[in-house]
Structure 1
Amino acid sequence: MFIRKLQDIIQSNNVVKDPNGSWESRRLILAKDNMGFSLHDTIIYAHKSMTLHYKNHLEAVYCIEGKGSVTELNSGKVNQISKGVLYALDKHDKHILAACDNMRIICIFNPALHGNEVHDNEGSYPLAEIEH
């Protein structure tokens, strides 16, 4: 068992910021924890949007603060996101995530991220080799 506090994560090197200034991810559980997934407490900054396509990962997202939308690019359907709403990218769905105001989301990735990943030019995270 291990215990982690968000405040400790915020003061560590487990905070990753988008080079384009759209988000900040506080990475609570990573691949090195051997849980089979990673868990992130992420802030999407107000009035920011990004096109994402997680080709190598499945993601579940649960909103705990703020408002925004996720647009499914294959259908054009726009889904409103607010506190208490979850969406799951179970088919590596290409999408646009947009925040109306600062939106705080809890993200789970499978397979787990290693820690310092940022999105590539296609809006994806690389599939990292498993460390031994």
Structure 2
Amino acid sequence: MTERGFIFDLMDEISNATVNLAKEQLKANMLKDKDEKHIDAVVNKFLEVGDKNTHGRSISPDEAEAFGLKIKKEDKHSEFWNMIWEIYVRIETYTRNKRLAKYLLSRNGGIDVQAMPMGF
């Protein structure tokens, strides 16, 4: 297998793991009263946004609600929102200081993802 083939296979594997995690979490929590077909449709709506737009673009609460999720908008001055913002800033700072492409959170901790030059 070529290096390029390996990278694309790895990207597919990561993408599939992300989709499976999203489905698992929606089924266990926010969409636990919905069937698998409905959950697949919701996840696919998010995937379509990622395919059509810039990767990493935020999805507004109104857009997520239109996708079928139950959304609670937090006051940006609340204690909960401040905690979420602090986590975001810490991860963003960590990622930039380490010059990482991404920092992935998993059930068992975090994974540093280094940027690799693509020689295509």
TM range (shorter): under 0.3
* TM-score normalised over the length of structure 2: 0.26
* TM-score normalised over the length of structure 1: 0.24
User: Greater strand percent: which structure?
Assistant: 1
Relative contact order (C-alpha < 8 Å, sep 6+): which is higher? 1
User: Greater helix percent: which structure?
Assistant: 2
